[in-house]
Amino acid sequence: MGLTIREIRDRTTRARHLMQRSRQQGFAVGAFNIDNQETLIAIARAAQKLNAPVLIEVSQGEVEALGLENVRDLVDNYREEYGIEVYLNLDHSPTVEACKRAIDAGYEFIHIDISQANHDATEEEIIAKTKEVVEYARFTGALVESEPHYFAGGSNVHHEGIDYEEIKKTFSTPEGAKAFVDATGIDTFAAAIGNLHGKYDVPKELDLELLARIREAIPCQISLHGGSGTPLHFFEDASRAGVSKININTDMRVAFRESLEKVLRENPDEYAVVKLMPQVFEAVQVVVEEKINAFGSAGKAVS
């Protein structure tokens, strides 16, 4: 069932307060992707156990698999069942129209990513479409996130090395970040400082000195995409340095698949899926709890 505009605005106000608290108290909120109900349950259980605020997020493919309104209802149901502080984020949405539909459905966070669909999109096109979403979001108060560049990688496991000399060419700059924020009026800037989508055989390295300069240059929130496979100390430092949102996807997918494969091997004659899933829940929950602790958000939820 849909939310009233009063309910939506109340939740977006609470979401804005959460982002303010994250800056004031030096923690980041975990934004965890889901593509099935089991992963959502694992995130909800971790949030409840650690009394941590969380964002549930879905990208375009995940929206197509689960349904935009269905995800809203699922998250609201578990919000009530587990008594957790949880919000919804539309992740890497490739079109203005998809963002508007999510805003209408009451998503508190919206990430418009024009370069995801068109890697050759000009900065002028990205700015214009981002501004359109920012204007539309004023009606509900949803927080809008964007960036003027394409994030490399994909939410999968990659066995190639990381060419940081090449990746550095796409890093954010303090000057570019400020110009983009000023031009669009976004609430959250998605910074590129060595974070890449997916999980690699080698650990990622974040340029925390660059992060500090970006933080000083812009007034809005900062997010980090591509958090999987990053040594935890980078998260601890980034959270204290003023990052408010960190995205995690692949680490959970790896835990889900590897634990499911193990359970299937150990139970070849079991066909009741519900009996196979508890170990899978637990494996994904371990990953979520690890990230929450590294982000410094344990104990930061408010009712």
How many domains are contained in the chain? 1
In a domain, 300, yes or no: no
Instruction: Yes or no: say if 248 and 219 are a contact pair by the CB < 8 Å rule.
Output: no
Q: Exposed/middle/buried for 16, CB within 10 Å: 0-12, 13-18, 19+?
A: middle
CATH of the domain at 269: 3.20.20.70
Q: pLDDT tens-digit profile of 154-187?
A: 677 777 777 777 788 889 999 999 999 999 999 9
Quote the Cα angle for 290-200-159, to 5°. 145
Contacts of residues 253-262 at CB distance under 8 Å and 24 or more positions apart, as own/partner, are 253/35, 253/155, 253/156, 254/157, 254/199, 254/228, 255/283, 255/284, 255/286, 255/287, 256/38, 256/39, 256/280, 256/283, 256/284, 258/283, 259/283, 259/284
The Cα 108–Cα 142 span in angstroms is 5
Residue 176 makes CB contacts below 8 A (sequence gap 6+) with 148
Of 35, 73, 91, 182, catalytic:
91
For the cut 70, the answer to whether the pLDDT of residue 1 exceeds it is no
Q: Which domain holds residue 63?
A: 5-295
Which of 157, 162, 159, 218 lies closest to 186 in space, CA to CA? 218
In a domain, 100, yes or no: yes
The Cα 33–Cα 250 span in angstroms is 9
Q: pTM (2 decimals)?
A: 0.95
In a domain, 167, yes or no: yes
Which of 137, 134, 13, 7 lies closest to 72 in space, CA to CA? 7
Q: pLDDT tens-digit profile of 246-301?
A: 999 999 999 999 999 999 999 999 999 999 999 999 999 999 999 999 999 999 99
Q: pLDDT tens-digit profile of 47-85?
A: 999 999 999 999 999 999 999 999 999 999 999 999 999
Q: pLDDT tens-digit profile of 90-130?
A: 999 999 999 999 999 999 999 999 988 788 899 999 999 99
In a domain, 254, yes or no: yes
For the chain, the distance separating the N- and C-terminal CA atoms, rounded to the nearest angstrom, is: 22
Residue 170 DSSP symbol:
G
Tokens of 48: 């409840």
For the cut 80, the answer to whether the pLDDT of residue 25 exceeds it is yes
Question: Catalytic annotation on 91?
Answer: yes
In a domain, 39, yes or no: yes
In a domain, 17, yes or no: yes
Q: pLDDT tens-digit profile of 205-257?
A: 899 999 999 999 999 999 999 889 999 999 999 999 999 999 999 999 999 99
The Cα 33–Cα 88 span in angstroms is 10
The Cα 92–Cα 256 span in angstroms is 22
pLDDT of residue 120: 86
